[in-house]
Structure 1
Amino acid sequence: MTAYWIAHVTVTDPAAYAGYQALAPAAFARHGAQFLARGGLSETLEGPSLDRHVVIAFPSLQAARDCYHSPEYQAARAARDQACIAHVVIVDGVEGA
């Protein structure tokens, strides 16, 4: 069943964050990720306003977990350390959707 990686990111150091952007795609590609939303225009209807929203579909919850914990993604994550504030969750999709 499809699972989703949902991230809300506030970039605090764009130059340092570029290191993450250079490394992360390899991890996503290896684990079958498909970006559904990445940045772009957004409108906050409730709750705090956040800068950047990312929604990524994975073939399964395990694939999303494996991506996050992979050496490739952990290297990308280390590259963005101190360059952003990130909140990342993974969630199982709805069966049959």
Structure 2
Amino acid sequence: MTKGYWVIRVDVTKPERFKAYAEANGSALKKYGAKFLARAGNFENPEGNTRSRNTIVEFPSYKAAVDCWHSPEYQEAIKLRLDAAAMDLVILEGYEGPQPS
């Protein structure tokens, strides 16, 4: 089964409100088997545009990644974030094909 990923870029404008969102989304992320691979750490942006924070969340499947975003639990958490941050979130299917040799 191909894993799924959330690739997230965010600019936080209201840190306390965003913290409430981050705490509220935990139940949905846990329910769908999410695992943080990168979360707001140091980064370089050698090309293109970015935001101040970047996160990669891994799910056991692409379907789980999509279902988590659409879940009632996550949709409730989003309400806490709407006025606290500008965010881009892409749901991406993992790749299991040939790798560079």
- Bin for the TM-score computed over the shorter chain: over 0.9
Question: What displacement does 1:18 show?
Answer: 1.6
Runs of 4+ in structure 1 over 6 Å off: none
Aligned to 1:53: 54
Please identify the structure whose Cα radius of gyration is greater. Answer: 2
**Deviation sequence 1:52-88 (CA, Å, 0-9, x none):** 0010111111100110011111111111111000000
The DSSP-based 3-state class of the residue aligned with 1:6 is strand
The DSSP-based 3-state class of the residue aligned with 1:63 is helix
**Deviation sequence 1:19-47 (CA, Å, 0-9, x none):** 10110111100000011000011111111
State the one-letter code of the partner of 1:87.
D
Aligned length: 97
Runs of at least 5 residues in structure 1 that lack an aligned partner in the other structure = none
Runs of at least 5 residues in structure 2 that lack an aligned partner in the other structure = none
RMSD: 1.2
The DSSP-based 3-state class of the residue aligned with 1:66 is helix
State the one-letter code of the partner of 2:34.
A
Question: What displacement does 1:10 show?
Answer: 0.5
Within a 5 Å distance, the mapping from 1:28-47 to structure 2 comes to 28-47=29-48
- After TM superposition, the score normalised by the length of structure 1 is 0.94
In 2, Cα distance between equivalents of 1:2 and 1:65: 11
1:8 has 2:13 as partner:
no
